């Protein structure tokens, strides 16, 4: 949903963009964080865990993180994918980043992009911030 379509429907929608890793925590917490392609860009388990912790800080208790990350379940050669820097995560790598901070509502396969250069299998996840 865009700001324009939200306004036409009489809905209040605030969209913000900021660097959750390097900026301090925002002045307030939010209901939803949408992330397409951020989590999967971290090359290490520690980096992904750190990012998930930052998303946890941004969200209100019970808030939702909608995440889309590249899947390791693609037909391309994993060595070529790694050399080219293609973001590919196994489901277990996602779970390792999420499980300390979030309850998994849903994870399903999807296609990441529409262009041939960005069209690869991905994970679409809806996660809920743990209340404690």
Asked if 32 and 16 count as a contact pair (C-beta separation under 8 A), the reply is no
The CA-CA-CA angle for residues 52, 70, 78, to 5°, reads 120
CA distances from 12 to 1, 5, 9, 16, 32 (A): 11, 10, 9, 13, 13
Residue 13 lies in a domain: no
Is 90 exceeded by the pLDDT of residue 114?
A: no
**With contact defined as beta carbons under 8 Å apart, do 100 and 51 qualify?**
no
pLDDT of res. 88: 83
SS3 33: strand
pLDDT value of residue 111: 87
Residue 6 lies in a domain: no
| Residues spanned by the domain of 74 | 30-129
Confirm whether 20 is domain-assigned: no
Q: What's the confidence (pLDDT) of residue 5?
A: 83
Report the CATH number that the domain containing residue 108 is assigned in CATH: 3.40.50.150
24 token code pair? 């301090």
pLDDT digits (tens, 9 = 90+) for 92-104: 999 999 999 999 9
């Amino acid at each position: 949903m865009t700001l324009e379509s939200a306004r036409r429907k009489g809905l209040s929608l605030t969209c913000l963009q900021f660097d959750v890793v390097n900026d301090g925590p925002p002045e307030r917490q939010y209901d939803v964080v949408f992330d397409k392609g951020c989590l999967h860009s971290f090359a290490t388990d520690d980096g992904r865990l750190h990012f998930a912790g930052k998303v946890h800080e941004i969200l209100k208790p019970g808030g939702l993180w909608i995440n889309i990350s590249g899947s390791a379940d693609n037909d391309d050669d994993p060595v070529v994918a790694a050399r080219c820097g293609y973001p590919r995560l196994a489901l277990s790598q996602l779970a390792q980043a999420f499980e300390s901070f979030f309850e998994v509502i849903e994870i399903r396969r999807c296609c990441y992009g529409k262009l041939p250069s960005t069209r690869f299998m991905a994970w679409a996840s809806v996660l809920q911030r743990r209340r404690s």
